[in-house]
Amino acid sequence: MLAALLYGQEDLRLEQVADPTPSAGEVVIQVMTATTCGTDLKVWQRGGHAKMLKLPTVFGHEAAGRIVALGEGVKNWTVGDRVVANNSAPCLKCFFCQRQEYSLCPNLTWNNGTFAEYIKIPAAIVQYNLLPIPADLPDDLAAMTEPLACVLHGIARSNVKQGDCVVVLGDGAIGLMFVAVLAQHSTEVLLFGGNEQRLQIGKKLGAAKTFNYHQLEDAPAIVRLTADYGADVVIEATGVPAVWETAIACARPGATVNLFGGCPRDTTITVNTEQLHYSELNLKGVFHNTPEYVRAALSLLARQTIPFELLISEHQPLKHLEQVFQDMKNRKVIKVAIH
């Protein structure tokens, strides 16, 4: 089969590799649509991922497809079923899983390789995080289940209340997904980003106001003009340490700051201890998703009440993946559906 393999920083190669064969409990899926993600872009730029990948490797983690082969012992699935498989599954046995903190499971089963014609799904994911795609849900939308599950997990951890002012920093796919879901909850969402086209999509997804940071000197001051003491909730969705600090500065006393974007390894930020203490700030790092939110995400996509298709900038064949990542790097596209 044809697959994209990552060998190092921005070193992506299309190669012919052996078709996967399922072992006991596993299935093989023919990938119909794989969507690109900001995490994929960071993996490509940084040349790997500390938790999920060892080079050289197939990569990509958002896909919709159909089952083409079943391993021994697999039940309740048949060849031809349209499915979406999350890129991980918790063990359900460890200290964290027993406390339902599934995203912290140290034994998470990871799976990558959606930028290929076929992908093998490990038994743990087949058991806990393989879901049928509703008949009327297009593959392009179903493929976005994983990132939307992460967003739903992030919102659940953010203490958002009806009527809150929520600031979202970042106009990438994840930031725009946060806007789209939060706007359904009677919250006032302020979106900060650096791309006018993306900010316009943010408005279509429900942002009350948008701001281009290239045209601002003091984002926290702009927030305070809109929300008096500052935002009730701030969600950082860029993965840039300096923006983490900006997120904290945008928060009112008593606010929750969700530091959602994953920063480069070993980076640090500075936090004003007086502000943290006397303003009773809640700073949260939120990572990945859980089986509950994988199911909730697919259900939300199936209802098709939010135009998530606005996030798909292009449709491209697998052979154009290298150019797709160059375009993502240059912020020419948001998400691309790879067929």
Residue 185, pLDDT score: 86
- Name the pLDDT band for 255 (thresholds 50, 70, 90): very high
Q: Is the peptide bond before 253 cis (omega within 30 degrees of 0)?
A: no
- Name the pLDDT band for 195 (thresholds 50, 70, 90): very high
Out of 3.90.1150.10, 3.40.630.30, 3.40.50.300, 3.40.50.720, the CATH code matching 158-285 is 3.40.50.720
Segment 185-191 mean pLDDT: 92
Per-residue pLDDT tens for 119-128? 999 999 999 9
Segment 191-213 mean pLDDT: 98
Residue 50, pLDDT score: 65
Per-residue pLDDT tens for 16-32? 999 999 999 999 999 99
Q: Residue 323 pLDDT > 90, yes or no?
A: yes
**List of residues 6+ apart from 38 with CB closer than 8 A:** 172, 173, 174, 239
Residue 149, pLDDT score: 98
Copy the structure tokens of residue 138. Answer: 């297009």
For 84-108, the DSSP string reads: EE-SEE--SSSHHHHTT-GGG-TT-
CATH 3.40.50.720 boundaries in the chain: 158-285
- Average pLDDT over the chain reads 96
CATH 3.90.180.10 boundaries in the chain: 2-143+289-338
**List of residues 6+ apart from 98 with CB closer than 8 A:** none
From residue 121, give the alpha-carbon distance in Å to each of 69, 133, 268, 314: 10, 16, 35, 27
Residue 129, pLDDT score: 98
Q: Residue 285 pLDDT > 70, yes or no?
A: yes
Residue 54, pLDDT score: 82
- Residue 283 · residue 276 · CB < 8 Å: yes
Residue 125, pLDDT score: 98
Q: What torsion do the CA atoms of 302, 307, 313, 316 make, to the nearest 10 degrees?
A: 20
Place of tokens 């399922």: 22
Q: Residue 192 pLDDT > 70, yes or no?
A: yes
Per-residue pLDDT tens for 31-48? 999 999 999 998 999 887
CATH node for 2-143+289-338: 3.90.180.10
Residue 46, pLDDT score: 86
Per-residue pLDDT tens for 109-154? 999 999 999 999 999 999 999 999 999 999 999 999 999 999 999 9
Per-residue pLDDT tens for 290-310? 999 999 999 999 999 999 999
Q: Residue 49 pLDDT > 80, yes or no?
A: no
